[in-house]
Homo-oligomer: A and B are copies of this chain.
Amino acid sequence: MFSPNAQRIAIIDLGSNTARLIVMSAIPGYAYHLDDEIREVVRLREGLNEQGLSAPAVARALVTLRLFKRFCDSSHVDVIIPTATSAVREARNGAAFMTQVAQEIGLNLRLLSGEEEAYYATLGALNELSLTNGYVLDVGGGSAQIAQVQDHRFYRAVSHPLGALALTEQFVRTDPIASQELAAVSRFIDDHLDATPWLNKKKINLQRRLVALGGAVRNLAKMDAVRQSYPLNTLHGYRLTAVALQENIRLLATLPLAERRRLPGLNSDRADIILPGALVLQAVMARLQVEELTVSINGLREGLFFEHFWRHLAYPVMANVRRFSVLNLARIYNYDKRHAAHVRFLAGRLFQQLRPLHNYGPAEQELLDAAALLHDLGAVISYQDHHKHSQTLIINSGLPGFTPRETLLIALLTRYHRKGRPVLEGCGGLLCTPEDEEMLLRLAAILRLAEFLERGRNATVDDVTAVWDDHTLRLTLIADEYPAVELWEARRYAVDLLESAFNRGVTLESTAPPDPWFMPVAP
């Protein structure tokens, strides 16, 4: 738990293939953090027929839910939100199963409709991705949901029986898949997608952005990420292209199971069922005419969590995902808000005034703002080298809403906020451009100056103004009292980088009269 004031909230998602428990710690509306996670392959849908869920599948589900409940009870969970989805929904004995779970285990499963599944998956995605208009595709074990997002809200959705496990059970008998089986799966997918008119508009909508989620999607992205030596520790926000997906499909359709199990990045307990999931993804991408999709690690479970977390809001989605994800990270690590906000203010003032020299706009300032709020995060690890630890923390946590490139650049800005010559290390040539290196240098120089202008951590420097000619950049610090500590440290540690970033000599003066007590003496 990041704070003794936080609640612990457990979400249980009994899916058709996998049962999952996540435990979030949260101060609703303020900050949240994943505390624990348990995943169990139950395959509840296995053997589902006209009589309903099979007896072994029910037995497996009961054992798993009992264990989840016991875990919640023993580990001090405040709220449990248990849900079931398509397998239970479709089964003739689904209601009886739910009664049994309530009576024997004490969990009142909430049975989600296909549209509710889509709604919560979309909530989960929207709270950690910047998606204004587009589509959210959730490929589960039993069904697949497609939701349309308009103006940052869930608009409508459809659920199809196109889950990876369901399609495998229905069509796949041969290993590797026979070409007639492959054709049959594809035809079945197409028939279902044809039935949803709003997926098949002829007019190309430029805002057709696709977000995809679910275990199959995460695993397909992981396979590609391993091939690319992707530098971030989370796949949230990963861009999976149609070309990369096609390569995955080729491997999955031609290799026998034993070899599929050894494919780098693929979970071995998913190797037997993932191919139909990939085909659903491919079919939806083709219909929406998109060349890539964005992976969301979040889905149904997180959507259910966010409904709880934002329950004081009329609509449980944070309007500015990126801003909140920066605040959330800062709050989890207990940032010094006053200091961080003043560094952000000073950095912003420098950025704005120096605009004719750098020509950057709001996108770059957003990176600078984020890095200013997060620059000291690493002090939680140790004061020594805390700039490096800030980078590590951001790379490991990720920054939902920001692209991988933006996340890396923010992490690099914190890395260079107090020393070192900025370089695009660990960035992967795939993500960052040579222009990014110059931007990193300039933004890091601004951030570093702002940090040292706030070295006393007490807002002694109220503001800063900049004027320049071709040779000299003159900075004036607005202050009520002589900012001795700040001038001393900024001149020593920040001016160099600024001179090199803007190719001019830099002078620093203060509006408060120089205090003779603090006149520097050469050592």
Contact = CB atoms under 8 A, between A and B. Distances in A.
Interface of A: 2, 33-38, 40-43, 56, 59-60, 62-63, 66-67, 70-71, 74-76, 104, 233-234, 333, 379-385, 389, 392-393, 396-397, 455-458, 460, 484-485, 488-489, 517-521, 523
A233 B485 CA distance: 29
Total copies of the chain:
2
Contacts of A488: 67
B35 A67 contact: no
13 contacts: A2-B380, A41-B523, A59-B521, A63-B517, A66-B517, A67-B484, A71-B455, A75-B456, A76-B458, A104-B517, A333-B380, A382-B397, A389-B396
B457 A75 contact: yes
Contact of A521 (B35, B38, B56, B383): B56
B63 A518 contact: yes
A67 B518 contact: yes
Given A75-B456, A384-B34, A521 B63 contact: yes
B523 A383 contact: no
B71 A485 contact: yes
A456 B36 CA distance: 11
Looking at A37, A379, A484, A523, the one whose CB has the most chain B CB atoms below 10 A away is A523
A331 B225 CA distance: 37
Contacts of A66: 484, 517-518
A517 B63 CA distance: 6
B384 A233 contact: yes
Contacts of A457: 74-76
Contact of A397 (B234, B381, B460): B381
A296 to B, nearest CB: 15
Contacts of A519: 63
A368 B521 CA distance: 53
